[in-house]
Amino acid sequence: MVRRTKDEAQETRNRILDAAEHVFSERGVSRTSLEDIAQAAGVTRGAIYWHFKDKSDLFAAMVNRVTLPMEAMVARASDESVEDPIASLKACAVNALKSTATNPQVQRVFDVVTHKCEYLGEMAGVNNRISAVQKGCVDRAEQTIRNAIKRGLLPASVDPRLAAVGLDAMLYGLISNWLANPGYLPLERHAEAMIDLYMDGLRSGRARRALSPGKPRSSGKARRSRAR
């Protein structure tokens, strides 16, 4: 009986989250009330408050259903015991793109997060959570790149932070543009090729470490003069 009660509670919670995804996607977050979500889920407002403190708590739980598995994958890739950190990082990036292209739930949540929510008032705290997720993923990617450099899989000249931030920006831009216009490019088909292009750039050592403030970069002409 206890098991059945827990299963029923989880089923109700999932039904509320599913309804929130759809209603937020259709109306936008600011125009959606908990009553709207309750009606869509076929539950009472009391049932929503049993599972969630308020709309921002419900929104955060909806986001977590999509982001937590991705966060876990990035965390595993950054472990120092991983033999090929670059292959693991590539798998994370390709998974993010392909999941967006093929999973309607991921599409809805990312679309709501990027295009359907104003992070003001009660939603301001949620933005902090999303920013923390993004920073955590960038930090993990940076560590993965450091591990790759230690293993000799990337040149020592690569700046791990710049490379991680660049990869994050690339993924965010591709996903955001594709959600706004799915005809932008065949995302699933080209996901691996686009990530390979980025990884090839890292292997070439083009993502060089930033110069210290005030330190001038030597021009090609100056280098040629010294060579003479």
**CB neighbour list of residue 88: distance below 8 Å, 6 or more residues apart:** 76, 77, 82, 144
Q: So what CATH class is 1-52?
A: mainly alpha
pLDDT over 60 at 52, yes or no: yes
Superfamily covering domain 54-210: Tetracycline Repressor, domain 2 (1.10.357.10)
The mean predicted confidence, pLDDT, of the chain is 88
pLDDT digits (tens, 9 = 90+) for 90-99: 999 999 999 9
Name the nearest CA neighbour of 160 among 174, 173, 147. Answer: 147
Helices assigned H by DSSP within 52-159: 55-77, 85-102, 104-115, 124-150
pLDDT over 50 at 56, yes or no: yes
Mean pLDDT for 189-216 is 76
Does this model's pTM top 0.75? My answer is yes
pLDDT number for residue 228: 45
pLDDT digits (tens, 9 = 90+) for 14-27: 999 999 999 999 99
**What is the three-class DSSP state of 208?**
strand
Domain ranges of the chain: 1-52, 54-210
Q: Which of 66-75, 145-154, 182-191 holds the top average pLDDT? A: 145-154
Tokens 């691996």, residue located? 192
Domains 1-52 and 54-210 share a fold: no
pLDDT digits (tens, 9 = 90+) for 1-16: 556 688 889 999 999 9
Distance between CA atoms of 218 and 120, rounded to whole angstroms? 46
Give residue 222's pLDDT band: very low, low, confident or very high (50, 70, 90): very low
pLDDT number for residue 208: 60
pLDDT digits (tens, 9 = 90+) for 98-144: 999 999 999 999 999 988 998 888 888 888 888 888 999 999 999 99
